[in-house]
A and B are shown apart, each in its own frame.
Chain A
Amino acid sequence: MAEPTPQPTFFQRHEFLIRRLHSLSGLIPVGAYMCVHLMVNASLLNSPASYQKAVYQIHSLGSFLPIVEWGFIFIPILFHAIFGVVIIAGGLPNTGNYPYKANIRYTLQRATGVIAFFFIVYHVFHMHGWFHWDWWLDNVARPLGGARFAPYNAASTLTLAFRGVVIPLVYAIGVTSCVYHLANGIWTMGITWGVWTSPAAQRRATAVCGVFGLLLLAVAFGSWSGPLRTDPEDARAVEQKMYNAKVASGELDPQQAEHKRASGHLGEETAAAATEDSQQSNGGATKSH
């Protein structure tokens, strides 16, 4: 008998709005957060103390930090990623027959989006272990090489987590994908929202987004090279001094601060890192002021 006429799904009925929110969330807050994140991390190039100071500033949000993290970072990224997958599934890349520049960028936008997503998932595991339950951290995350970052020993733990060839390479690929995805995403966003309409305006926008992408890539590789140029022992000494000062001034409560500090001695961690990677390519001591 007669097939009922198909009803649009919830997604189809609200797709216009969802796509616009998807487009927006890529810039605000996800893209904006990424810029800030990369710039904060690049401060390690200046000194471990600068970097540690920035991390303390972020953590001064205290119990608001998880709200900010979830509201402005995790949920928007998850939203962007989930609907990104839906969008990718709806397309059929055809650069083989139509190898035009914009079409290649269209395909790259999708490829880098997927790479960026897997990279971010790994990155959050590698640095934070995904969840903060003690049992999970001790029995799952740390044994698998995750949860390496301790906010109150920012530079030293980061440096130790960034050893070897594989991890820096993964980060280089991941960060490059993220930067491309943002820069090209801003360009497509300008068309989607109708900011640049004429071919000439779109060409100018391509140039501006290109320059923006290169600058951000420079910042990204600045923060990438930070841990490669940092001596974890020097960094740890500075961090200890800063920590002691905060405790002395009453700004930090040592009991509550414990889970944000590196566990164990630097020696053990260095040994652990050294067994993971025997080549210890440590670019010498960082300049300190």
Chain B
Amino acid sequence: MAEPQSKPASIDSFEVRILRQEAPGRASYWERHRVDYEPQMNVISVLQKIAAKATTIDGRSVTPVAWDCNCLEEICGACTMVINGRVRQACSALVDNLLQQEDPNEIRLEPMSKFPVVRDLMVDRSRLFRALEKARAWVPVDGYYELGPGPRVSPEVQEQAYPLSKCMSCGCCLEACPQYTKVELTRLSGETDEEFQQRKRATYDQSFIGAHAISQIMLFNMHPTGKHEAAARLDQLTAPGGIQICGNAQNCVAVCPKEIPLTTSIARAGRATTAHVIKKWFDR
């Protein structure tokens, strides 16, 4: 997070342009709002003001803009959106910085373009979470009896693992990735909710798993207990939608708000899958 700056000279209000969409599958449109300047606002407080006013720049009264947020301290990832063309968290995007460093006149807000829009700036990130299921991003310790203390983790592994554990599943890395393309399905008439969910999951599973999940696989394959499932995780990385889709553009690492060394994870995953596939080839 950058330091809050002082008030930009001679500004008492600024414009906000928002890409709105009423419902999934509907056409999107730009809407302009004017917001009174206050020191130390973030994009969430801007959105709160806009929702309270619910009036556009030309005086039309409109429905309040919808958005997601939760922690307000850049640890939940819910408020991720595209601000001035770059994906980031709305809660930690400070208005003073945006006006001073990017555009003194206006702030542009768009929903992430790689996920289906639910409404306005809210998107459905279920593909991101499905990828974590596919990646088995957990340590399997559930059982019927006491397993005792887990094995020790060496300081070296801890040092490698800790940065990866900071992922908040925000989706920035996916939004910026040129190889991660949008998958949006619509429910067919006569399809039950369950059938639709199942079809969505199956489609997501064939699309690119994403940098966040590749990195989580490396994290859990490093863990002494998580390791037991290493082969199953690597199988997922070589399955349809696996690591092979990555084109090494390295945008993911450049935009990750948690500064997770994603491309290091990707290269390690490349090495691990190389070894895994060769091993499987000779073991069968």
Contacts and interface: CB of A to CB of B under 8 A. Distances in A.
Interface stretch (A32-40, A99-107, A136-144, A227-235): A99-107
B41 interface: no
Interface string B236-265: 001111111111111100110000010110
Interface residues of A, number: 42
Interface string A12-50: 110111111000000000000000000000000000000
A16 B273 contact: yes
A2 to B, nearest CB: 5
Interface residues of B, number: 45
B179 A194 contact: no
Contacts of A92: 178-179, 181
A199 B263 contact: yes
A5 interface: yes
B202 interface: yes
B247 A194 contact: no
B195 A100 contact: no
A104 B93 CA distance: 25
A60 interface: no
Interface in A181-226: 188, 190-199, 202
A6 B270 contact: no
Interface stretch (B73-81, B126-134, B143-151, B184-192): B184-192
A1 interface: yes
Contacts of B86: 97-98
B181 A3 contact: no
A92 B268 CA distance: 25
A12 B206 contact: yes
B85 interface: yes
Q: For the complex, would chain B's binding face be called helix, strand, loop or mixed by DSSP majority?
A: helix
B139 interface: no
B264 A197 contact: yes
B248 A194 contact: no
Nearest to A88: B247
Contacts of B277: 16-17, 20
B228 interface: no
Given A92-B178, A193-B274, A197-B267, A103 B251 contact: yes
B26 interface: no
A94 interface: yes
Contacts of B264: 197-199
Given A90-B245, A194-B267, 5 more contacts: A13-B240, A19-B244, A195-B271, A197-B264, A199-B264
9 contacts: A15-B245, A16-B238, A16-B277, A90-B245, A97-B85, A100-B251, A193-B271, A194-B268, A197-B264
